[in-house]
Chains A and B, each alone.
Chain A
Amino acid sequence: GESVGLHLPTLSVQEGDNSIINCAYSNSASDYFIWYKQESGKGPQFIIDIRSNMDKRQGQRVTVLLNKTVKHLSLQIAATQPGDSAVYFCAEGKKGDMRFGAGTRLTVKP
C-alpha cells in the first residue's frame, strides 16, 4: 500500500503486479508533464511525457494519465519488475521552465 514516511511517500508492490504512482501538480497553465525515474546514486531519467492537450499516453509498459480538472497525474507501470524499484518524480513544465513534485519511492517485492 501507499504510506507517507519521514521523507518520500512509499509504494510497495509485488513483482508482476501493476503499479500506480500518483502526483498532484500545482500550475494549471503548465504545457506538459513528465515522469522521471531516479535510481540510487544516479540522476533522474526520463520515462514518459504528456502534453496538456492530452489525457492519456502509453509507452512500453507505462501509461501516463492526466486529469486537468483535479490537477492530477498518474503513472501506471504494468507487470512491475525488480528493476522498476526507484524513486519516481513527476514534473510540470511551461516553455521549458520545469518544476518537480515530491517523488514516490517504489519498492518491488520478489
Chain B
Amino acid sequence: GAGVSQSPSNKVTEKGKDVELRCDPISGHTALYWYRQSLGQGLEFLIYFQGNSAPDKSGLPSDRFSAERTGGSVSTLTIQRTQQEDSAVYLCASSLLASGGAEAFFGQGTRLTVV
C-alpha cells in the first residue's frame, strides 16, 4: 500500500482477554516502531525493530506485552490478559533508515478499549 496500515482501527475487548494489533509498514522500510498514546497525552515508546537486529524492547510496560516482526515486514503487537489501563491508541510507524535521520510515516492507529 501507499502508507502504513494498521488493523483493526478500533478494538473493544473484555478485561483479561488477549488482543493482537497488526501493522503493515511501507514496503522496503527497514525500521518499524510501536508507540502508545493515551487520550490527550504524548507518544510512549514501546518497541523498535531495525532490519534483522534484535528489537529494542525497552519500552514495553510489562511482560504482558510482546511484539514480533515477521520477514522484516508485517508486525504484530500482542497484549495478553488486557487491563483497563491498556486502553489507548496504539500507533505504528515505519521509516527507511539510510545514513541516520529519516522521516517516519505513521499509521492511523488502533484504538483499544478494555472494558
Binding site for B on A (CB under 8 A): 6-8, 31-32, 34, 41-46, 49, 51, 89, 93-103
Contact = CB atoms under 8 A, between A and B. Distances in A.
A32 B41 contact: no
A44 B106 contact: yes
B1 interface: no
Contacts of A45: 106
A103 B107 CA distance: 18
Given A32-B100, A43-B107, A45-B106, A96 B95 contact: yes
B28 interface: no
A8 B41 contact: yes
B43 A44 contact: yes
A89 B95 CA distance: 17
A32 B107 CA distance: 22
Interface in B10-48: 30-31, 33, 35, 40-43, 45, 48
B40 A8 contact: yes
Contacts, number: 68
Nearest to B41: A7
Contacts of B105: 46
Contact of A98 (B48, B108, B109): B48
B103 A34 contact: yes
A97 B56 contact: yes
A89 B105 CA distance: 14
Contacts of A95: 50, 97, 100
Contact of A43 (B30, B45, B91, B103): B91
A3 to B, nearest CB: 15
B71 interface: no
A104 B101 CA distance: 22
B102 A100 contact: no
A8 B42 contact: yes
A32 to B, nearest CB: 3
B112 interface: no
Nearest to A102: B42
Nearest to A47: B103
A89 B42 contact: yes
A90 B40 CA distance: 16
